[in-house]
Chains A and B, each alone.
Chain A
């Protein structure tokens, strides 16, 4: 059973059409939820760390929120350059040390002009 599930798998938007990406998780003892952006042929680029339920972070057109079961990445008035795969990852309590990142499968976002 997947511990981190992202939806939708793919999302096509028109430029300016706002939407949200979802990341639901079932891990216990959350020690951070992370959002990354990955462009083709590149490594994941770190966007946000969310620490606890109720927290929000913003960067340009992106806003990440966190509840006890899921996180949303809201994209406001997207531009074509926002097209990428967005990855969600969580870190769980791992016996007090060496907590690994558990990645979701990602949402591929395409923004058309």
Chain B
């Protein structure tokens, strides 16, 4: 079991739906990340939060909206997604965004867009 917990594990949604992905960690980490991973590809960075502030947005479409309510929680709000957005969405955390800090990943949410 990982120390980064993601819910739900699986999500199927239509292109007009609104849903949210949730990520939680209790390791005292102050940096949290969202990644997208397609089959047989490495993870691609989407967003970085540092001390609850958005510090990096890797040109992600506005249909993905991140939120960091507190230092332990990270949400990803989804709206009007496209079929190509189907992927494994991974959350990760690290002590800080500083040098040599390893990121610890959750097991992801498998998202399917109908």
* Residues of chain B contacted by A99 (CB below 8 angstroms): 97, 99
User: Within the assembled complex, what's the spacing in Å between the Cα atoms of A97 and B51?
Assistant: 13
User: Within the assembled complex, what's the spacing in Å between the Cα atoms of A33 and B108?
Assistant: 23
Interface-facing stretch out of B13-21, B37-45, B66-74, B78-86:
B37-45
Total number of A residues with any Cβ neighbor in B under 8 Å:
25
* Residues of chain A contacted by B102 (CB below 8 angstroms): 32, 34, 46, 49
Q: Does A63 contact B (CB under 8 A)?
A: no
Residue of A nearest to B45 (CB): A100
Q: Does B107 contact A (CB under 8 A)?
A: yes
Q: Are A98 and B55 in contact (CB under 8 A)?
A: yes
Q: Does A59 contact B (CB under 8 A)?
A: no
Q: Which of B20-70 contact A (CB under 8 A)?
A: 41-43, 45, 48, 50, 55-56
Total number of B residues with any Cβ neighbor in A under 8 Å:
26
User: Within the assembled complex, what's the spacing in Å between the Cα atoms of A98 and B105?
Assistant: 18
Nearest-neighbour CB distance to chain A for B47, whole angstroms, equals 11
Find A104's partner among B42, B88, B104 (CB 8 Å cutoff). B42
User: Within the assembled complex, what's the spacing in Å between the Cα atoms of A97 and B97?
Assistant: 7
User: Given known contacts A43-B90, A44-B43, A106-B42, is B108 in contact with A101 (CB within 8 Å)?
Assistant: no
Interface residues of A (CB under 8 A from B): 31-32, 34, 36, 41-46, 49, 51, 87, 89, 91, 93, 97-101, 103-106
